[in-house]
Amino acid sequence: MEEKQGVVKDVRLRVSADLHLSRELRGDEVEKVAEYAVSSFPSIFSRGALKDEEPRINELTVSGEKLSITVESGRRVRAHEAVKRARKALSEELGPKMGLGVRGISVKSFEVTFIGDCLREVKLPFAKKVEKIKEGMKYWLDVNESDLYSQVPDRIISLFLEKQEEHAAAREVHKIVWRSSEKPVKYAADPGPLLDEEGWVKRFYPGIWYYLQPYANLLRILENMIVEKVAKPLGFQEVVLPKLIPLEVAKKKGHLAGIPSEMLYVCEPGSREVSYFEDYTDLVKVLNEPRPEVLKQFLKEPVFTLPYAQCEPFYELFAGETLNLDNPPVKLYDRSGFSFRHEAGGLRSLERLTAFTRIEIVYLGRPEDVAETRDRLIENYLSILDKTLDMEVRSAEVTPVWMAHAGVVKDVSRNVSATFDIEAYLPFRGDRESEWLEIANASVHYDKYVDWFNIKERKGREVWTGCSGNGLERWVYAFLARHGFNVENWPVEVKRLWASYKPPIMDT
């Protein structure tokens, strides 16, 4: 039976806090402060709230050097916002009259009740207790004054709402929009093991391989085809994008919130002085072991990730900049290195890797230009795969991978489809209904990255971005799964380009 999706109908908050005054109250000042709070806070709290949804004071007492208040609210003007408003009002009203201010806020209790049907208990940061109740789910948060002003409670609430929709969002949309004709099976073996046996590759480390001369030659042939027949005809120009991604950029891209378990991280040495590492180097010399558990004591906390999608620096290139859409669209591609992934689905032959070569194609411009560019990329991919490389392929509209990477669970209401995958049939697996391998994709991001990276346009016009990724190892894998290792059975153009390859003479 399919699990029902949780539906949140309402959110209720109850916050108890002490507002610490700048000095002890004297004489009738206690009464004056209490009178001001009782008479003024309700109208101050109600600004921006819907009728009958205003934050409500449940308790209020004044004594000594503090005002204690408990506020209950719905989701529009939230209880913790009311507490912040109370602090500001006290300082602005009583400061000039009584020389009184508020030194700080102590949050004694912060309760969030999610009201709805079929709500799932989920992990939330800062949650010290959770209880399933008749109306839904109730969380007690451990937050402080700094968290209130940093909107931490609001993001926790948003996170709960997202997690309730995760299961529905995780069921990937996969709609076939085009497929080539069925092609006769000419090779029926898995090329993965044979690549190793034939000396085309050699494993270096799990998920990381040596690409020896024949493999490298075929990989470069296919790489150049993508550049010359897909990217350049559309006006793309080559760049080299950085391969160390600062954590702040990874955060903007959404990776730290969406896929932190799938990235590889980089730490700097704790010091540039050789003497700083003396204890570690001595231990390595004596034990003759790398001892990573000791090494990490001499490293700083992670400051970079290795590129997961290779396009991360592209958006940062324009971060905070003001663009002019009267200029042509920006069209760039990068094929300068590896992308790195701690694959959630596990490693598999030369198909799913930790380090893989990639051509990343990125574009930015007017919405109509970005959408057209994406569509023409898809057309060019399908053309060379079907006609030049004689491979059985299809394209499918799918759940946008960039949304999954960023932890975004709601689809975007647009007339333009977000992402198309290019998939190749793997004959050795048999079933044409399911045995396809994604080898490329092309996406439209709408204005999401423009918003997240604070990219502006001089006349306020809407700017979109897009990207297209190619895992070159998957192109090679799918090509060999179709055509095998006998060069005479390869497509004409690949044979022509292969003709200049001279196998190395290697003594064994």
Instruction: Select which of 311, 312, 334, 380 is catalytic.
Output: 311
User: Does 227 score more than 80 pLDDT?
Assistant: yes
pLDDT for 2 equals 43
Helix ranges (H only) for 118-228 are 145-149, 152-164, 166-170, 191-197, 213-226
* Residue 365 Rama label (left phi>0; alpha psi -120 to 50; beta): left
User: Does 461 score more than 90 pLDDT?
Assistant: yes
pLDDT for 408 equals 52
Surface-to-core class of residue 5, CB atoms within 10 Å of its CB (0-12 exposed, 13-18 middle, 19+ buried): middle
Determine whether 343 is an active site residue. yes
User: Does 1 score more than 50 pLDDT?
Assistant: no
Instruction: Select which of 12, 335, 467, 482 is catalytic.
Output: 467
- Helix axis angle for 79-98 and 29-46, nearest 10°, is 140
User: Does 343 score more than 80 pLDDT?
Assistant: no
Tens digits of residue pLDDT in 394-446: 999 987 766 666 555 444 557 888 899 999 999 998 888 889 999 999 999 99
User: Does 268 score more than 90 pLDDT?
Assistant: yes
Euclidean distance between CA atoms 438 and 462, whole angstroms? 31
User: Does 507 score more than 70 pLDDT?
Assistant: no
Cβ–Cβ under 8 Å, residues 355 and 338: yes
User: Does 65 score more than 60 pLDDT?
Assistant: yes
Tens digits of residue pLDDT in 170-185: 455 789 999 999 999 9
pLDDT for 353 equals 92
To which residue do tokens 């793997």 refer? Answer: 426
User: Does 351 score more than 50 pLDDT?
Assistant: yes
Least confident of 56-60, 434-438, 469-473: 434-438
Over residues 31-47, mean pLDDT: 93
Cβ–Cβ under 8 Å, residues 48 and 77: yes
Residues above pLDDT 90, as percent of the chain: 75
Determine whether 228 is an active site residue. no
Determine whether 217 is an active site residue. no
Determine whether 76 is an active site residue. no
To which residue do tokens 């620096």 refer? Answer: 313
Model-level pTM greater than 0.85? no
User: Does 389 score more than 60 pLDDT?
Assistant: yes
Determine whether 358 is an active site residue. no
Helix (H) / strand (E) element for 405: namely helix 401-405
pLDDT for 401 equals 67
Instruction: Select which of 438, 447, 457, 493 is catalytic.
Output: 438
Please give the single-letter amino acid code of residue 210.
Answer: Y
User: Does 111 score more than 50 pLDDT?
Assistant: yes
Cβ–Cβ under 8 Å, residues 236 and 468: no
* Residue with the larger pLDDT of the pair 155 and 164: 155
Euclidean distance between CA atoms 349 and 345, whole angstroms? 13
Cβ–Cβ under 8 Å, residues 113 and 133: yes
Determine whether 54 is an active site residue. no
How many Cβ atoms sit within 10 Å of the Cβ of residue 346?
7
Tens digits of residue pLDDT in 77-91: 899 999 999 999 999
**Closest C-alpha to 331, from 463, 238, 402, 449:** 238
Determine whether 311 is an active site residue. yes
Cβ–Cβ under 8 Å, residues 74 and 97: no
Determine whether 421 is an active site residue. yes
